[in-house]
Amino acid sequence: MGRRKRNIAEAKDLYDNSKESNALFEKYYTAQAMLPEAEWPVFMTAMRRAYLSHSESPVSVSLLKLLRTRYLEDLLSLTDIRPPEPLPWYPSGMAYQLHTNRLAIRKINELQRLHSFLVTETETGHITRQEAVSMVPPLVLDVRSSHRVLDMCAAPGSKTGQMLELLHRGDDSEAGRSSGELPDGLIVANDVEPAHDGRAYMMVHQLKRLHEPLLCAVFPRRSACPSPSFVAAPRWTAWRPLDRVLADVPCSGDGTARKNPGVWRRWKPGHANNLHLTQAKILKRGLELLAVGGRLVYSTCSLNPVENEAVVGKLLLETEGSVELVDVRPLLPGFKSLPGLSSWKVMGANGTLFEKYSDVPVGRDHAYLRPSFFDEGYKDLPMERCMRVLPHLQDTGGFFVAALEKRRHLPWMNPPSGTRRRPQRLLRMPALRMDAQFKRPLEMSPKSKRRRFNEDPFLFMGPEHPVWRGISETFGIDSGRFPCGNVLYRCETSKKRHLYLVNDCARRLVQGNPELKTVNMGIKIFSVCDDAEYKGYRPLQEGLSLLEPFITLRRIRVPRCDLLVLLEHELPFSDRFTEATRTAWRALTLGPVVIDYRRDGEDAQQLPDVDLCLAGWRGRTTLRAYMNRHERLHLTRMCGVEDLVEIRGKTAGQGDGEGDDEDGPSDDEEAVEPPAAAAAADGNDGEAE
Residues making up the binding site for S-adenosyl-L-methionine: 153-159, 191, 248
CA-to-CA dists, residue 490 to 193, 201, 216, 495, angstroms: 20, 20, 14, 10
| DSSP bridge partners of 353 | 347
Question: Can you tell me the distance from the alpha carbon of 145 to that of 319, in angstroms, rounded to the nearest whole number?
Answer: 29
Contacts of residue 556, defined as CB under 8 A and 6 or more positions apart, other chains included, come to: 581, 584, 585, 588, 593, 594, 595, 596, 616, 618, 623
Question: Can you tell me the distance from the alpha carbon of 623 to that of 646, in angstroms, rounded to the nearest whole number?
Answer: 18
Binding-site residues sit at 153-159, 191, 248
CA-to-CA dists, residue 519 to 106, 468, 522, angstroms: 34, 24, 10
With both helix axes pointing from N to C terminus, report the angle between 112-123 and 629-638 in degrees, rounded to the nearest 10: 120
Contact of 525 with 539, CB cutoff 8 Å: yes
Contacts of residue 250, defined as CB under 8 A and 6 or more positions apart, other chains included, come to: 153, 229, 231, 275, 278, 279
Question: Can you tell me the distance from the alpha carbon of 45 to that of 597, in angstroms, rounded to the nearest whole number?
Answer: 53
Contact of 230 with 282, CB cutoff 8 Å: yes
Q: Catalytic pick from 216, 225, 251, 301?
A: 301
CA-to-CA dists, residue 372 to 15, 151, 231, 627, angstroms: 38, 26, 21, 55
Q: What angle do CA 8, 11, 17 make, to 5 degrees?
A: 125
- Distance of alpha carbon 205 from its chain centroid, rounded? 10
Question: Can you tell me the distance from the alpha carbon of 203 to that of 200, in angstroms, rounded to the nearest whole number?
Answer: 5
Question: Can you tell me the distance from the alpha carbon of 341 to that of 323, in angstroms, rounded to the nearest whole number?
Answer: 19
- DSSP class of residue 573 equals B
What are the CB-based long-range contacts (under 8 Å, 24+) for 571-578?
571/619, 571/622, 571/624, 571/653, 571/656, 571/658, 571/659, 571/661, 571/663, 572/622, 572/623, 572/624, 572/653, 572/658, 573/621, 573/622, 573/658, 574/621, 574/622, 574/623, 577/623
What is the biggest distance separating any 2 CA atoms in the chain, rounded to whole angstroms?
90
Question: Can you tell me the distance from the alpha carbon of 7 to that of 95, in angstroms, rounded to the nearest whole number?
Answer: 27
Question: Can you tell me the distance from the alpha carbon of 458 to that of 521, in angstroms, rounded to the nearest whole number?
Answer: 10
Q: What is the DSSP string of 179-248?
A: HT---S-EEEEE---GGG-HHHHHHHHHHHTT--TTEEEE---GGGSSSTT-----B--SSPPEEEEEEE
Question: Can you tell me the distance from the alpha carbon of 133 to that of 130, in angstroms, rounded to the nearest whole number?
Answer: 9
SS3 353: strand
- Distance of alpha carbon 345 from its chain centroid, rounded? 36
Give which of 133, 196, 360, 593 is closest to 584, Cα–Cα. Answer: 593
Contact of 524 with 515, CB cutoff 8 Å: no
| 228 class by beta-carbon count within 10 Å (0-12 exposed, 13-18 middle, 19+ buried) | exposed
Neighbours of 350 (CB within 10 A): 9
Residue 505 known to be catalytic: no
> 511-542 burial, b for 16+ CB within 10 Å, e for fewer?
bbbeebbbbbbbbbbbbbeebeebebbbbbbb
What positions carry a catalytic annotation? 301
